């Protein structure tokens, strides 16, 4: 990731930028052009307030209290009370990179110049980011209707010196952290509280991180499945470009290309070109069709998230050119909710197929491969239970892939009578993604062990590179041992850069559709 400072303007943020700030600590600042837009928007809001027009969330209550008029003298108290009352989340806290992603996305949407906040609000968010202060944000409590109200309220709570944060390796009160960092708490003015908590930045932050890691998983899946195909003496005929040109879904074409590149120069495949086997099972033969469909799904979800992270999602929105402040529903999380469910379902498909290949690797489907890939079966159980673990994770993913967005439950005394459940969908997608990585980590261990029994035949250029990287972390199995450390090592290896980079250095860049 580049260390160059990121300039945010509300319209040009990329998913890769979110990861560079959230995960790798890249600095972010407000662009000069965005500062001008924000200033113009704030001036228009203040002018409108002076005209004593009734504007939702500025001089009215919220939700079912929208018809309650608030006096000018109470407008600042209104915004602070909104943050305090809505900080009602529960459950385990979001981790550091998730909280940082939320702060960046909240700053970016405010930088678009549609929210009517002062530049000071955005700069306080960026101060937290750039000084490595991240808020304690409970992960449960959002229904994704007026946005992610509870989690974003906990985020905003810290800006005003309330709540808790993590700073200098410790959890402490936000006010203490601000004092140590040499900054005063933010004092909210009219419109600023609601602008901080109306929006989809919690679910979108989780979504952006999940999409980025899914891109990595898709390449990893192609590599690991190619290892299994070779270990099971499958054919590369099903990867023929003629087949995929007859059904040219972008992901399918890309996957078949990747498989051909990874498997090139395989002595294992060459050794059984004239064998009597006519067809491989679907978990080998249909890798391009299944992995390709998942690639297309992830690319669709990526497009939705790319729009969402650069959108104005609070309420009301301020349009200075048209001299209008309009109350609407851009905070509703349906676009993200549906996409996160789609992502979870897609990754579940990927996991299901990987588990089936693991089972085939362990089930003595070839004379060369002993049952459970152990030389001394009976006294040794070998890799028997690795399939159990993969099966448990694949089954759990099936449960988690039930769409959260198919549910709705009214809130705010029926005022908010349809909700998206977007944050639930995003949390589930993240859990499915982690399990998918673990299943592929198990498949990589099993495929590498199976390749041991095919020596001296050598795998393809890409699979050989992958095998060597796996062997740096996980030793071949001679006698029974606990596999938990091996699974953990393989998991972290696949989630990092080294595994894919080793293969791409041999065969060139792998495609994502």
56 classed as catalytic: yes
Given the residues 56, 282, 342, 437, the one annotated as active site? 56
- Quick check: 346 and 294 in contact, CB under 8 A? yes
Using left for φ > 0, alpha for ψ between -120 and 50, and beta otherwise, residue 135 falls in beta
Kindly state the tokens that stand for 165: 């944060």
DSSP string, 192-212: HHHHHHSBSHHHHHHHHHHHH
Going by their DSSP bridges, the two strands 6-8 and 28-30 should be labelled as parallel
- Quick check: 188 and 83 in contact, CB under 8 A? yes
* Cβ neighbours of 277 (radius 10 Å): 9
- Quick check: 222 and 118 in contact, CB under 8 A? no
- Quick check: 217 and 437 in contact, CB under 8 A? yes
Collapsed DSSP state (helix, strand, coil) of residue 103: helix
Output the CA torsion sign for 446, 448, 453, 457. Answer: positive
How many residues are recorded in the chain?
513
- Quick check: 458 and 464 in contact, CB under 8 A? yes
Distances (CA, A) of 158 to 83, 87, 192, 208, 364: 10, 10, 14, 23, 58
* Cβ neighbours of 273 (radius 10 Å): 9
* Exposure on the CB side of residue 441, measured as CA atoms within 13 A: 24
Burial string for 323-337 (b: 16+ CB within 10 Å, else e) reads eebeeeebbbbbbbb
Q: From CA 411, how far away is CA 414, in angstroms rounded?
A: 5
Q: How large is the greatest C-alpha to C-alpha distance in the chain, in angstroms?
A: 87
Q: Which helix (H) or strand (E) holds 77?
A: helix 75-86
Rg (C-alpha) for the chain, rounded Å, is: 26
**Would you name the residues annotated as active-site residues?**
56
């Amino acid at each position: 990731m580049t260390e160059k400072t990121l300039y945010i303007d509300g319209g040009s943020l990329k998913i890769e930028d979110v990861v560079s700030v959230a995960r790798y600590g890249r600095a972010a600042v407000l662009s000069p052009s965005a500062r001008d837009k924000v200033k113009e928007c704030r001036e228009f809001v203040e002018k409108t307030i002076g005209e004593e027009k009734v504007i939702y969330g500025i001089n009215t209550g919220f939700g079912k209290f929208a018809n309650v008029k608030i006096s000018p003298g109470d407008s600042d108290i209104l915004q602070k009370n909104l943050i305090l009352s809505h900080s009602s989340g529960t459950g385990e806290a979001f981790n550091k990179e998730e909280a940082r992603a939320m702060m960046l996305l909240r700053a970016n949407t405010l930088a678009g110049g549609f929210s009517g906040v002062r530049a000071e609000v955005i700069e306080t968010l960026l101060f937290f980011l750039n000084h490595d202060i991240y808020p304690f944000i409970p992960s449960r409590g959002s229904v994704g209707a007026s946005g992610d109200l509870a989690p974003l309220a906990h985020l905003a709570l810290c800006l005003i010196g309330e709540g808790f944060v993590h700073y200098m390796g410790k959890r402490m009160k936000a006010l203490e952290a601000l004092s140590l960092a040499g900054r005063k708490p933010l004092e909210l003015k009219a419109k600023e509280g609601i602008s901080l908590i109306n929006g989809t930045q919690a679910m979108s932050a989780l979504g952006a991180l999940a999409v980025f890691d899914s891109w990595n998983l898709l390449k990893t899946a192609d590599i690991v499945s190619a290892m299994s195909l070779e270990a099971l003496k499958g054919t590369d005929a099903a990867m023929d470009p003629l087949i995929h040109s007859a059904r040219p879904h972008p992901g399918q074409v890309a996957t078949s290309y990747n498989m051909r590149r990874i498997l090139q120069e395989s002595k294992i495949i060459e050794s059984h070109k004239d064998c009597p086997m006519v067809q491989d099972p679907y978990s080998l033969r249909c890798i391009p069709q299944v992995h390709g469909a998942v690639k297309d799904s992830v690319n669709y979800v990526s497009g939705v998230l790319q729009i969402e992270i650069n959108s104005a999602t609070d309420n009301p929105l301020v349009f200075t050119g048209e001299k209008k402040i309009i109350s609407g529903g851009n905070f509703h999380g349906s676009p993200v909710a549906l996409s996160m469910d789609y992502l979870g379902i897609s990754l579940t498909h990927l996991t299901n197929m990987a588990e089936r290949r693991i089972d085939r690797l362990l089930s003595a489907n070839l004379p060369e491969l002993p049952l459970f890939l152990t030389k001394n079966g009976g006294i040794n159980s070998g890799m028997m239970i690795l399939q159990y673990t993969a099966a448990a994770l694949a089954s759990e993913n099936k449960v988690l892939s039930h769409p959260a967005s198919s549910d709705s439950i009214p809130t705010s005394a029926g005022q908010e009578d349809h909700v998206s459940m977007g944050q639930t969908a995003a949390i589930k997608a993240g859990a499915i993604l982690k399990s998918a990585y673990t299943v592929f980590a198990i498949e990589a261990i099993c495929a590498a062990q199976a390749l041991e029994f095919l020596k001296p035949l050598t795998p393809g250029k890409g699979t050989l590179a992958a095998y060597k990287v796996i062997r740096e972390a996980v030793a071949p199995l001679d006698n029974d041992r606990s596999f938990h450390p091996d699974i953990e090592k393989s998991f972290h290896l696949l989630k990092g850069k080294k595994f894919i980079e080793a293969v791409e250095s041999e065969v060139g860049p792998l495609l994502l559709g």
